[in-house]
Every structure is written in C-alpha cells, then in structure tokens.
Chains A and B, each alone.
Chain A
Amino acid sequence: MPVFLIRRVLTMVLTALCLTFVVFYLTNLPPNLEKLAKSEASSRMSDADVESWIERNGYGRPVLVRYGEWLGITPGWTRTEDGVTTGRCIERGQDPATAPLRCGILQGDWGFSTVFKQPVSLIIAERLGATGVLMLWVMIVMVPASLLIGVLSGMREGSRLDRGLSIFSIASTATPEYVSGVVLIALFASTSTGLSPWLAEQGWISGKTLFMGTATSALDSGITFWNFGLPVMTIALYGIGYIARMTRASMTEVMTAQYIRTARLKGVSFGNVVMKHALRNALIAPFTVIMLQFPWLLNGVVIVETLFNYKGFGWTLVQAAGNNDIELLLACSVVAVFVVLMTQLISDIGYVFLNPRIRVS
C-alpha cells in the first residue's frame, strides 16, 4: 500500500506539472501580456511602451524560466534601473537585500490578483471555502438520493417503480443546469409566478417566496434553507439522474447474478438479498462515477454560481478569465488539477475497499 501511494503521488505531481505548464503557456501568450500591460499601466500605450513594460516587469524572458519562477524553483528576476532594484520577489519599498531569492507557489506565494487587488492565495482560500460548502450540501443531497433511486429501480427491473424512477432520472439528467435553474427560479422563487404566490396566499410560508432566487446572502448571513435550497437543488438534480442511472444499471446486472440466486435459494428474504448481497457489489461501479462528480461539480458550479450570484470558486474563475487575471487564473487551474487528481486517488483506494478482488500490493 505505501509503495502504491508513493507511486500514485509521484504520478500526480508529474501530471500536475504538465497540466499547469500548459495553462501557464496559454495564459502567458503575447496578446494576453499586451492586454495585461494596457490594463495595468495605461490603455493608450504605444506598442513600444507595451514592449518596455513587459520587459520591465519580467514578462519578456523565456516561458520556461518564468514557469520556473512561478513554481518557485528558479530565482525570481531582479532588475536594476537608475539605482533602484526591482524584482519579482521584492515588494514595493522593500530593501532588495532582505527579499527572498525565490518566490513561487512552492514558497506559498501565489501572486497578486490584478482584478481583486488582493493576494491570490487569500482569494482562492475564501472562494474555495464558499464553493466547498455548496458542494458539501450538493453531495449530502445528491448521493443518498441517487443511490436510493438507483437501487429501488434496479432491484426489480422492468417493474412500474423502475419505469417511473427511470423516467425521472433520465429527465433530470437530460436537463442542463442553466435550464433547470431558470425553471426552478420561476417555479419557486418568483413572487408572481409558480408556486410561491399560491403558498403565500394559503399562509403556509412566511416570506413572499418559497426559496430565494439568489444565494448571495448565504455568504454574509449564513446558510439557510431559504437562500441555499435552489442552487443545491439545481446542481444535485442533474447529478441525481446521472448517478441513479449508473446505479440502476449496475444493480440490475447484480440482481441477475448467480450469487443472488444462491442467496434467494438459501432462503434469504428479498429485502436482505438487496441490502446484504446486492448493494455492496452494485456500488462498485457508481462509486467511481460519484468520485468523478467532484471535478465535474467544480466546473458545473460556474453556471450555477453565476446564475444565483454566489461568489464562489466558479464565479472567481469567470472573473479571472474575463479580466485577464493571469495569476488568479493559474491558481484556479492548479486547484482544479489538484481536486481532479485527489478524487481519482480516493476513488482508486475506495474501490479496493469495496471490491475485495482488487488488491494493491
């Protein structure tokens, strides 16, 4: 097991390096730098000015060297002009002698966001935390619901229950979030249409709407059913259908296996056959899918966070990309790569525990 883990971690590091380099290269293409120069200095700069700005701020050197600086393995650039030494690692007003030699993500220096005018590490920590809370609730809703639906419909293939649940899961997974989000807002979060006016009239809800159409207040004044219900539901709905279909397929296959017949003919009752004999075997396939949902959620969350104006990781990503915030964009991609690789590692390890036939040596 330790050997396996070490090998996996090394593979992860290598993958992360490759992926971040690709992102680094693409975000540092000359047009992006030109845009950066114009937005940082002056939008009416001449081409020569842009050229010299890029040169002065260390963007003119080869990509590989700058990638090394960003990582923190090569020393940051320094430049002495008119007796003033500036450099990547020298903050304004700092004595160049006391500045560290290297400053990259290995040293914990993620750079400075040009949009938010804050250190990138601060922004990422805050936004990722917000999205983490959202994802946690999505998972809490999505995983049990989808497994329940999948197992219920898979245990008796072709039954009326199976047909009904299958229609629901196909419909929900065929509806993208930007559609279901809008529909849900119209249904539950509007004072003039949908259910809310009727519910308010009946006196069953105290506010004007059942849910709130925006989740902004969740960040300031805490999460409530009222402000968080809709975003969670929108994301979960899509995933529920998907995972439920996977679970159902796996469950129906397991239910026709010979060991299920063995169990039935041992005299085990149907409920126990499902719970004790079928469930663990049926969960092996959906488990991988559930783990794959994490990276997917991280991206899918972009739409929902924008829709419900929830300032999380997805929203930050959109801001960074839209405003050519190179450092922030890079950090976002590092986080995304890390989440993908971590969940894959967890899913591989979990797989071993679910399936006794797989052993890592």
Chain B
Amino acid sequence: MTATTDWDPSKPILEIENLSISFFTRLREIPAVMDFSCTVMPGEAMGLVGESGCGKSTVALAVMRYLGKNGRITGGSIRFKGRDLTTMDDEALRLIRGSEIAMIYQEPMASLNPAMRIGAQLAEVPMIHEGIGREASWNLARQIVADVRLPDPDRILKAYPHQLSGGQQQRIVIAMALMSKPALLILDEPTTALDVTVEAGIVDLVKDLGRKYGTSILFISHNLGLILDVCDRLCVMYSGEAVETGAVAQVFDRMRHPYTQALFRSIPLPGADKNTHPLVSIPGNFPLPHERPPGCNFGPRCTYFQAGRCDAQKVPMVPLAGGGRHETRCLRSAEIDWDKPPVAAKAVARTPVGEVVLKMTDLRKYYEVSGGLFGGSLKKVVKANETLSFEAREGETLAIVGESGCGKSTFAKVLMGLETATSGKIMLFDQDIQDIPIEKRGTDTVSSVQMVFQNPFDTLNPSMTVGRQIIRALEIFGQGASDAERHDRMLELLDLVKLPRAFADRMPRQLSGGQKQRVGIARAFAGGARIVVADEPVSALDVSVQAAVTDLLMEIQRKNRTTLLFISHDLSIVRYLSDRVMVMYLGHVVEMGTTDQVFSPPYHPYTEALLSAVPIADTRVKKKRIVLEGDIPSAMNPPPGCPFQTRCRWKSQVPGNLCDTMMPPIRVLAGDHQIKCHLSDAVLAGMEPVIRIAAQ
C-alpha cells in the first residue's frame, strides 16, 4: 500500500539473488541454503521442489525473514517489489508480513490458534494492516470465507479450529492469507497433511484465487505432480542448492540435471510396472548439511559422476541453450545423452499366485463411543467396517485404498488381532481367528501375520540397538535354538533387507528414515511371516527412498511368496505394485478387482474421483478433473442408502431415489470385477477413462 509506488509491475515481484542461509549451533555453522537464486514475476506461480532437508522451507521462511534465533542470512539479497528484505527492520517487516506477503502452512490444525474463534483470527489481519473497524473486518472475513468455498460462513466464523475438518481448516488458512490481498503467496506443502480428494479441491482453489487476484505464488512441495498442476515455473533443490530451474514444461520434458532425472525415474508414473518396468531408485543417502561432498553435492549418488571433475570445484548454475531461463547446476549437461532410457533394471516374471491364505466373510467392526466425559448413557456407534468380504492368495499383493477414515486401518487391526471383529469371519490358512485377540493367538499365528508400519521414526524402540530389536522379535516368535543362532539369523535378516551387518550395533537415531523402515521390514519378516500388512509403508519417506523400499518389499515377497496387504492412499504406487485393488469408502468395499480393472473404466464413481484427484508428474497425461464437494460423512452418522451418495456426481443417472434409500448390492462384472453401485450397465459401460496418455 505504501512505498510501493516506485515499483514497476513489469519487474519481478520477488528476486532472490545468491542467497545463503546458515543455522548456528554451539558446535558449528550449518549451511542450510547456498547460493540460491530465483525470480518470481507478477502473477506467476513458482514451484520449489526437493526432498525433506533440501532447504526449500528455509528459503520460504527467509523470504518472510522468520528464521528463528539460530538462523541467519549470510549472503545475497531478497528483493520484494524492489526493496531488499534482508536489511529491513522489524517494524517495516511487520507491515509487509500478512499484507503483502502471506504464507500458507503444512499443518492447518497447528497453524490456527486453538483458543480463538476463526472469525477473530481472520478479522485480525485487516484490523492490523488496514486499520478498519471490527465490524467491517468481520464482514470482510465473511466474504473471504465464502470466496474459499466454505459453506455457511457465519457458523464457520463463530467456530473454533478443532470444530472444522482438515480441508476446511486449510481453506481457513488460505482465507487468512488472502484477507489483505497479498501480492505474493507462499505455500509450504499446503496439502501434505490432507487426503487426495481434499488436496484436489485445495489445489483448484489456489489456482483460481491466484488467477482472480493476480497473486504471485511460491509453491513448495515434494510432489512433482502437484507442481505440474499448479506452477508455471519450478526450481529443483538438492541439499541446499538449486540444481535446475526453468519453465515446468522444460524441466519435465527436457530435464538437464541428473538429480531431476533420477527423481522422475524413481516415482511411479503411469506405464511403470513392478515386473516389466521397475522403478530406478537413487543409490545412497541424502548428505547431512555438514557432510556435503566437495564439488557437486549430488556427485556421490550420480550415475554420470566423473572423478576429478565433478568433485574438483564448486559447480555454478549455467543457463542452457534452449533459452526460457532454463538453468542447470551440472558441468556435464551438454555431454550427457539425456534421452537414453535408464539402464533397465532386470525385468522379472510375474509371480504366480497360489492358494487362498486369507479369507474374510462379511466382516464388521463397530465401535461404541460413549457420549459424556464419564461414559454417559448416550452411546454412539461408529461403523468402521461393514460387510467386508475378500480373499487373498499366496504371493499376491492386494492393495487397500481409501481416504482417511474409510476403515482401512481398522481392518488391519482386526486382522492382526489388536481388535476383535463384531461379526463375520476371518479364515487365516484354515483357522477362524476373528474372535481371538492377539494375546491369545499362538506364536505361529502371530509370527505368520506381521505388520510394517507407516512411521518408521516412532515404531523402533529408541533405546535398543537395531540388532537387539530384531533378536527380540526372533525370541518372541520362538525362532532359533540358542542366542548364537538367533544372532546369525538376525545378520541374515539384515542381509535380506540390504543393510550392512555393522548396523546391528547401531541405535535407531543413527539411521535415516529409509534405513529405519528396512529394520521395520526385517522385524516383520523375522518369524517367516506369510502375510504382511504394510500400512502406508513408504508415505513417510522421501521420494528417492520410496522406490528402494518398495522394491525391497517386492523382492522379499517374490522370494518368500508372501501375501502382501498394501494399505495406501497413494494410487500411483498402488498401480505400480499391486495385483489386485480394493477401494474402500466409509467402511464399505465399493470396488474390487485386478489393478487393470480398477484403473480403467467402468469405475465406481468414488474410484473415478480418487483417480482424477491424484496428481501425476507427467506432461503427457491428460486428466479429467473431478472435484468432490464437501467432506467425508462421519462414520458415526453415515448417510442412508449408498454411503457415497452425498458426493456422487453420477447420482442423477440413477432412476428414482434409489441411492438415497437403498444400499447398492455388490455387482460382479466381467472378470470378477466387483462394484457396489446402482448405476445401470449401460451407464457403467459408457464411462470414459480418467487418465489418458497423449500420443507422443
């Protein structure tokens, strides 16, 4: 509003030049960002991509000049509308924060004040920056809340953050950022904590609002597919440096840095397949900030590495011949044959599936939730699983897909015996186990059904060495006759998960996320598990590590003919590795079939929406955009009739009010493809594929 008159709108809105940021600890200075440059033009959306720890969030916070006590900008400049932010005093910064640059954060729940009403938190912004009254601010807040497409703004303004769903909270954070019509919006992983269908809605909203208000966007994400959806330009970061920058189409189709290339090859794009086109993982680990190699940071993990050259000097950012501000930080960018297909990792034959090892029939799991603080008389029933029926065969990968709250974790708990079923049957091998809690199960049963957990950081005992934890599992499973035997078996297990044997003596804190997950896998297989439930085993890991861990799971599965129940919300990875897919919504299985059947029409309307919501990092892919309105209904109070009817876009195609009144039957289509839907065969047959790959 003030002091911006001398700024010319044709100039960049944000110019970062040779920015270096360090964190100072008692021991040493840790450089977090080195020599980072980027430019954002008015109305442009710039993406920052990289794995955790690469410094992308640090750049965002540096733009806000909010680096905490230890962080300091050690070099370079950040110019916003021509004014250098690095030399600005607190008072001047305060006037810019929230009014001209606004930020949207990763965890919406944590970013909203839990003890303040939404309206007060929103209205605060114009009251500070525009000096308008309380009444007018609340009116403006009401207007913006309607703008971010939230229903019933008056109720929302009076609510506390915890009364809203995750998606609604994130819309409020966005509304808060837009209260003063900022010129630059910084989004730091805004959808990481949200479900895919909610994410799709948020991404659409951000794009529309950016267009409507002409706001420039700095979009930080580890998800290349999202960047493709949202951004015009992007900057790939690795270990504190920008390694490649350019227009989205340039970088996606003509990448000129080995890291960018490796990143694309390690994510499952349509066409990747675990047997014929396996993923190529990036070898090695991300360097710690104080252990960066000399020369090129990516050198040690790079397939094009030349000793004596790549590690001889600091590599500068160089512009590429193609123009369009496409730059790379690679000495060999002109020499490498970028179109050469990756060294094909060995293709493997499809594993034949064997006998049925697990059979669930009409499984139900209800929870009773008491009303009051002291167990009042009002009991509510949460129907977590409803009429779940399926079979899993030996050596098969069955993926269970659905958004949070769909009952996929409850199902895993019932199978593991952490909960007992309300009704229905679970046949494991030839034994009914639905009513036997885990403490009453025999060692055989326990060791043959094991689990790999989502978060490897919390599931290892922090005060026990890796080897000890595996040996402990062996003891519990009754493996090995003596301690020496168990120790040998433990070393073999480390070999199995491709960890060096020396890791046996390490503590979990000395391991990276991927290594911890490998320990988790070793522990699960310690008793010769025949069924492994993998609950989002790679979602907490970085992209480059995900491929390696996934491949490891596949390899062990092939070797041991394990049945893998792969629980995930990430459809890309599900398509890549599973043989069959089961889609769940509100405790019901809405669709089940082979991977090909589920990923191509006819779809269940929910599967269709889910597929359309997954961002795919491939410029050739054309997707139909289907955004689901509203939130998942509460499992405590499910809608009558079809569980999906409140959000279904095909509802009008069903005659009468069948969807509102009757639970659809399970229909078996060709090839044992099951769909729980009222749509007529003709309508189902007429569905178009959501994802099309344009001809090259």
Contact = CB atoms under 8 A, between A and B. Distances in A.
Nearest to B120: A276
Contacts of A261: 66, 105, 111
A258 interface: yes
B124 interface: yes
A266 B125 contact: yes
Interface stretch (B94-102, B431-439, B462-470): B94-102
Contact of A281 (B102, B114, B129, B372): B114
B97 A264 contact: yes
B63 to A, nearest CB: 10
Nearest to B173: A262
Contact of B115 (A262, A267, A280): A280
B493 interface: no
Contacts of A357: 114, 160, 162
B102 to A, nearest CB: 8
B160 A361 contact: no
Nearest to B96: A267
Given A7-B374, A261-B66, A356-B162, A267 B111 contact: no
A265 B372 contact: no
Interface in B109-165: 110-116, 124-125, 128-129, 160, 162
Given A267-B95, A268-B128, A258 B111 contact: yes
Given A267-B128, A356-B160, A357-B162, A259 B113 contact: yes
Interface residues of A, number: 27
A259 B114 contact: yes
Contacts of B334: none
Contacts of B372: 3-4, 360-361
B293 interface: no
Given A262-B111, A263-B113, A354-B115, A269 B373 contact: no
Interface in B203-255: none
A358 to B, nearest CB: 9
Contacts of B113: 259, 262-263, 277, 281
A57 B372 CA distance: 49
Contacts of B94: 267-269
Q: Which of A264, A265, A360 has the most CB of B within 10 A?
A: A265
A70 B535 CA distance: 63
A257 interface: yes
B176 interface: yes
A263 to B, nearest CB: 7
Contacts of A262: 103, 105, 111-113, 173, 176
Contacts of A266: 97-98, 102, 124-125, 128, 176
A273 to B, nearest CB: 10
Contact of A259 (B64, B95, B112, B373): B112
Interface in B65-118: 66, 69, 94-99, 102-103, 105, 107, 110-116
Interface string A122-143: 0000000000000000000000
B64 to A, nearest CB: 5
B115 A281 contact: yes
A361 B128 contact: no
Interface string B366-390: 0000011110101000000000000
Nearest to B378: A361
Contacts of B69: 158
A355 interface: yes
Contacts of A281: 113-115
Interface SS of chain B: loop
A64 B145 CA distance: 66
Interface in A154-182: 158
A361 B111 contact: no
Q: Which of A267, A268, A356 has the most CB of B within 10 A?
A: A267
Contacts of B373: 4, 360-361
A258 B193 CA distance: 15
Given A258-B105, A262-B105, A266-B98, A361 B66 contact: no
Nearest to B177: A266
Interface residues of B, number: 34
Interface in A273-287: 276-277, 280-281, 284
A269 B107 CA distance: 23
B114 A356 contact: yes
Interface in B448-474: none
A284 B94 CA distance: 29
A357 to B, nearest CB: 5
Contacts of A355: 114-115
A265 B107 contact: no
Contacts of A269: 94, 128
Nearest to A277: B113
A160 to B, nearest CB: 14
A12 to B, nearest CB: 13
A266 B175 CA distance: 12
A267 B160 contact: no
A275 to B, nearest CB: 12
A265 B125 contact: no
Interface string B347-383: 0000000000000000000000001111010100000
Contacts of B173: 262
A347 B373 CA distance: 15
Q: Which of A3, A258, A269, A355 has the most CB of B within 10 A?
A: A258
Contacts of A277: 113, 116
B103 A259 contact: no
A267 B64 contact: no
A280 B64 CA distance: 26
B371 A361 contact: yes
Interface string A345-361: 00000000011110011
Contact of A257 (B110, B128, B378): B110
Nearest to A266: B98
Nearest to B113: A259
Contact of A265 (B64, B160, B378): B64
B124 A268 contact: yes
Contact of B110 (A4, A259, A361): A259
Contacts of A267: 94-99, 125, 128-129
A356 B97 CA distance: 28
A256 B128 CA distance: 22
A265 B67 CA distance: 12
A263 B125 CA distance: 9
12 contacts: A3-B376, A257-B110, A262-B111, A262-B113, A265-B102, A267-B95, A267-B98, A267-B129, A277-B113, A281-B113, A355-B115, A361-B371
Nearest 5 CB-CB pairs, A to B? Answer: A267-B98, A266-B98, A258-B110, A267-B97, A356-B160
Interface of B: 64, 66, 69, 94-99, 102-103, 105, 107, 110-116, 124-125, 128-129, 160, 162, 173, 176, 371-374, 376, 378
